[in-house]
Amino acid sequence: MAMGVVTDYYVLKNAMVAANAGDAAKAATQLAASATNLQTYLQKDSSVGIAALKPYTDTIIAQSKLTATLTDPTCEKQRAAFGPISSSLYSVLKTVEVKNSGIYHEYCPMAFNDKGATWLSAESEIKNPYFGKKMMECGEVTDSL
C-alpha cells in the first residue's frame, strides 16, 4: 500500500525534474488519491499505529492537492509544496520501517535559498527536482531504505 504512494510520488518527482507543471499537477492529484487510500487502510489496520502516521499522511494529501491547483510554468510554486510532501513521505517510510526497497533519500543544500530540501528517488544518481535543468546534479544521497 505504501509502495503505491511511493510510485505515485516518483511520477510527481520526475515531473518536477522535467519542470513540467501539467504533468506535475496530474501526478499530484494521483498522489493525493493514493495517500488518501493509504490513510484509510491504516485506519482499518490497528497494528500500524495511525496516530504516528496521520500527521505525515495529512501533509502529503494537503500538499499534493495544493500542488495540483498551482499553475506555474516553471514549477517553482509546485516545488515549494513538494518539499513537505518529500519529508513527510520519508517520515512515513521510516516509521513503518521500510528496508531494502531501493529508495534513496537525497538532499540539496541549495534548495529554497540555501535552506535545503530533501526528496526520494529510485536511483542513487542525483536528478534534482528543485532545480531541474539549472542544477540537475546538485545534491547527495543521505540515506537508503
Give the domain range for residue 94.
2-144
Query: What was the pLDDT predicted at 47?
Result: 64
Q: How many domains in the chain?
A: 1
pTM, 2 dp: 0.94
| Mean pLDDT rounded to a whole number for the chain | 93
Residue 1 has pLDDT above 70, yes or no: no
Residue 49 has pLDDT above 70, yes or no: no
Most confident of 13-17, 38-42, 47-51, 131-135: 13-17
How do residues 77-94 score in pLDDT, each as one tens digit? 999 999 999 999 999 999
Interval 51-80 mean pLDDT: 93
Backbone angles phi, psi at 99, to 5 degrees: -140, 150
Residue from 106, 105, 81 nearest 92 by CA: 105
How do residues 80-129 score in pLDDT, each as one tens digit? 999 999 999 999 999 888 889 999 999 999 999 999 999 999 999 999 99
Query: What was the pLDDT predicted at 98?
Result: 87
What does the alpha-carbon distance between residue 46 and residue 115 come to, in Å, rounded to a whole number? 37
Residue 40 has pLDDT above 80, yes or no: yes
Residue 100, burial from CB neighbour count under 10 angstroms (0-12, 13-18, 19+): exposed
